[in-house]
């Protein structure tokens, strides 16, 4: 399937599943070395990261837990703009290494806000893993510990990412046809 139509837009295949899974392999290999004795809590930031989190977790060979969180659509304004409230993280984070799992870091705003909120819960360390990173869109200083792949600043869907709710189920990534 080299083209798909979602709602009013056409998308063409840009990153095949094989390439995505190779990138997940590499992230997992790095984690298997660096996090082996950390007993980390992996935190999947819904919705987009469910597919990355699932593929990644299957490849980790050390003791770890996973929790799933959401960000409220809107919860006030902070120094970095709109602040979304983190919902669903009920674990005691004191002394824990927390690894946030994101599908994509675009402008960087979401991950910066999320890291700030997790830090306030007293963990020993907060790390960030993102499947995709758009360096040309991200003007903020974001510390990314694990990056699957860097991608151009195009509108994409698939592998968890959506266009207006659709396309998350595609196993490959597709780029909008202008
Ligand atoms: C997407 C993605 C990241 C965020 C990245 O979430 O999952 O959380 O946008 O963008 P940023 O770096 O510009 O902040 P979205 O709000 O679309 O929710 P979703 O995961 O439910 O699709």
Is 106 tagged catalytic?
yes
Domain regions of the chain by residue span: 18-61+68-153
Q: Give residue 1's pLDDT.
A: 80
Active-site residue (options: 25, 37, 55, 106) = 106
> What CATH number is given for 18-61+68-153 in this structure?
3.40.50.2020
The atom number, within ligand 1, closest to the CA of 134 reads 12
| 9-58 pLDDT per residue, tens | 999 999 999 999 999 999 999 999 999 999 999 999 999 999 999 999 99
Ligand 1 in reach of 80 Cβ (< 6 A): no
The pTM of this model reads 0.95
Beta-bridge mates of residue 11? 4, 176
Ligand 1 in reach of 148 Cβ (< 6 A): no
Ligand 1 centroid to residue 91 C-alpha, Å: 23
Q: How confident is the model at residue 83 (pLDDT cuts 50, 70, 90)?
A: confident
| 120-163 pLDDT per residue, tens | 999 999 999 999 999 999 988 999 999 999 999 999 999 999 99
80-116 b/e with 16+ CB inside 10 Å = b?
eeebbebeebeeebeebbbbbbbbbbbebbbbbbbbe
| 100-125 pLDDT per residue, tens | 999 999 999 999 999 999 999 999 99
């Amino acid at each position: 399937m080299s083209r798909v139509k979602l709602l009013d837009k056409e998308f063409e295949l840009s990153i095949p599943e094989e390439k995505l899974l190779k990138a997940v392999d590499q992230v997992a290999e790095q984690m298997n070395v660096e996090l082996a004795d950390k007993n980390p809590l992996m935190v999947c930031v819904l919705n987009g990261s469910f597919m990355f989190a699932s593929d990644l977790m299957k490849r980790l060979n050390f003791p770890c837990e996973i929790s799933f969180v959401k960000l409220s659509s809107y919860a006030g304004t902070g120094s970095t703009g709109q602040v979304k409230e983190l919902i669903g993280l009920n674990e005691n984070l004191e002394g824990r290494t927390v690894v946030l799992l994101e599908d994509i870091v675009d402008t960087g705003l979401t991950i910066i806000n999320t890291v700030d909120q997790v830090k306030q819960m007293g963990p020993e360390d907060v790390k960030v893993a993102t499947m995709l990173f758009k360096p040309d869109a991200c003007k903020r200083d974001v510390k990314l510990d694990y990056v699957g792949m860097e991608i151009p600043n195009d509108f994409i869907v698939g592998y968890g990412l959506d266009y207006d709710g659709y396309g998350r189920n595609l196993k490959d990534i597709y780029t909008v046809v202008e």
